[in-house]
Amino acid sequence: MGTWDIGPFDNDTAADFSYRVDEAEAGRKADVLRGAFREVTGTGDDYLDADLSVEAVAAAALVAAQCPGGEPVTSYGPKEPLGVLPVELRAEAVAALDRVVAEPSELLELWEESDGEEWKAGIRKLRAVLADAGA
């Protein structure tokens, strides 16, 4: 995975995920995000693959962008409009983020080897926007 910064779309896997979101039919984009969340939350206590985590973080950023206080997704995010996302995705996004930062998580391990605190702060901020919006 090529990573150039700590943002949700600052890596190759998230950029590829954006393309998958763009390629989904207009009425199915939320399903792509939901699928990313469920891939992560469905791992239970098993080791969580970094690529799955990256996609869930990117999906959470897309949901949070539609919440009060959420930041717009710009570079490397989907180019096509998402439409209004279901409010129910907020809780799924929170659950996925919680799993990404819980052991055993490959992405967490990778970030703890470098800028882990800054990355975790970004995840906490993303989670707070989603939770404050009624997740």
pLDDT digits (tens, 9 = 90+) for 14-69: 999 999 999 999 899 999 999 999 999 999 999 999 999 999 999 999 999 999 99
Residue 34 lies in a domain: yes
Q: Which domain holds residue 81?
A: 12-132
Residue 5 lies in a domain: no
pLDDT digit string, tens, across residues 102-116: 999 999 999 999 878
Residue 1 lies in a domain: no
Residue 2 lies in a domain: no
Residue 77 lies in a domain: yes
Residue 37 lies in a domain: yes
Give the C-alpha separation, 134 to 91, whole Å: 8
Residue 80 lies in a domain: yes
List, in order, residues 6 or more apart from 126 with CB less than 8 Å away: 8, 57, 60, 61, 64, 97
Number of domains composing the chain: 1
For residue 3, the cross-strand partners are 11
Residue 32 lies in a domain: yes
**pTM (2 d.p.):** 0.95
